[in-house]
């Protein structure tokens, strides 16, 4: 379990938004949309909004993107990187519209898809965003959101409890990080973005987060009790990257 030794007690201000990047592996883990997760997310966000919290929710593409990618490959054998990215972007936008529909009474009416056009005078407690353009993952989009809207914390929800030094599905001796630096993340994921790559936080986003001095927390999106602890600055399980 981890606490907040890297922050002062008043570091997370009530009026500052939390950025939550929701990995596509959680939203669409297989052939079906993860309804159970969406029900819990809906309840969680609404409860925290009542407590004065504000959120940016960034939607990933998930298996929807991979199915389209695989279909294209089955037909023509190879897809170029730009087309692979666009399939991921449009899948992310579809998932983002689903989130926007769920929070229609709380969310800003615009889904952020162009990050050059910042929201002005937004008052809604929830804003949904999705993929933008080739070369950037939604991790990068989430990092831009944190930069542009003055967020202290970016929470990257995934299907793992921690970031590991190697793939825990392949290596029994994989070791989790409770805390790691951006330099360590760079060694782990490299510096080049590859469409569809499986990384705890993408290389280009990692470079920007390092430059911004941003704190990112990778946590398991299935554990909402843990997420509540994280939001409320209590002990939580997850990897702190700073």
3-class DSSP state for residue 67?
Answer: helix
> What sign results for the dihedral spanned by CA atoms 48, 44, 214, 111?
negative
Q: Which two tokens stand for residue 91?
A: 């899948």
**In this predicted model, what pLDDT tens digit does every residue of 133-168 receive, in sequence order?**
888 888 899 999 999 999 988 999 988 889 998 888
CA distance 34 to 60: 13
Query: How does strand 176-177 pair with strand 163-164?
Result: antiparallel
Arithmetic mean of pLDDT, 87-107:
95
Query: How far is residue 76's CA from residue 166's CA, in Å, rounded to a whole number?
Result: 33
Residue, of 4 and 156, whose pLDDT is higher: 156
- 18-57 residue pLDDT tens: 999 998 889 988 888 999 999 999 999 999 999 999 999 9
Least confident of 46-55, 198-207, 223-232: 198-207
What is the per-residue pLDDT for 11?
44
Spatial contact of 28 and 64, defined as CB atoms under 8 Å apart = yes
Alpha helices per DSSP H over 109-220:
138-148, 182-189, 203-212
Helix-, strand-, coil-residue percentages of the chain, each rounded to 5: 40, 15, 45
Beta bridge partners of 102: none
174 versus 42: the higher-pLDDT residue is 42
The domain segmentation of the chain, as residue ranges, is 18-241
Residue with structure tokens 């910042």?
A: 118
pLDDT of 194 over the 50 cut: yes
* C-alpha–C-alpha distance, residues 18 and 145, integer Å: 10
d(CA 54, CA 63): 28
Instruction: Report CA-CA distances (Å) from 102 to 40, 109, 137, 140, 213.
Output: 12, 12, 23, 24, 33
Q: What is the mean pLDDT of residues 208-233?
A: 92
Looking at residue 1, its pLDDT comes to 58
Highest mean pLDDT among 67-81, 195-209, 217-231: 217-231
Q: What is the largest CA-CA distance in the chain?
A: 56
Residue scoring higher pLDDT (228 or 121): 228
Q: Does domain 18-241 have CATH number 3.40.50.720?
A: no
Assigned token pair, 191? 């510096």
pLDDT of 13 > 60? The answer is no
Taking a C-beta distance cutoff of 8 angstroms, is the pair 139, 156 a contact? yes
pTM for the predicted model, two decimal places: 0.89
Q: Is the pLDDT of residue 5 over 60?
A: no
Both tokens of 74, joined, read 């089955």
Average pLDDT, whole number, for the chain?
Answer: 88
């Amino acid at each position: 379990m981890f606490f907040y030794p890297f922050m002062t007690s008043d570091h997370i201000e009530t009026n500052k938004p939390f950025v939550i990047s929701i990995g596509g592996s959680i939203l669409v883990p297989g052939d079906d949309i993860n309804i159970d997760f969406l029900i819990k997310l809906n309840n969680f966000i609404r409860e925290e909004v009542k407590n004065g919290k504000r959120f940016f929710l960034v939607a990933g593409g998930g298996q929807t993107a991979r199915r389209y990618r695989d279909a294209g490959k089955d037909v023509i054998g190879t897809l170029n990187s730009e087309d692979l990215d666009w399939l991921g972007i449009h899948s992310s936008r579809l998932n983002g519209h689903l989130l926007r529909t769920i929070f229609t009474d709380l969310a800003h009416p615009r889904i952020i898809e162009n990050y050059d056009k910042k929201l002005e005078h937004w008052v809604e407690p929830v804003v949904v965003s999705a993929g933008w353009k080739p070369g950037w993952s939604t991790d990068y989009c989430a990092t831009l959101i944190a930069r542009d809207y003055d967020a202290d914390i970016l929470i990257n929800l995934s299907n793992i409890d921690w970031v590991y030094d190697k793939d825990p599905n392949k290596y029994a001796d994989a070791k989790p990080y409770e805390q790691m630096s951006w330099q360590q993340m760079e060694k782990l994921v490299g510096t080049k973005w590859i469409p569809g790559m499986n990384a705890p936080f993408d290389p280009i986003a990692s470079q920007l987060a390092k430059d911004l001095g941003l704190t990112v927390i990778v946590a398991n999106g299935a554990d909402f009790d843990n997420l509540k602890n994280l939001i409320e600055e209590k002990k939580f399980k997850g990897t702190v990257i700073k």
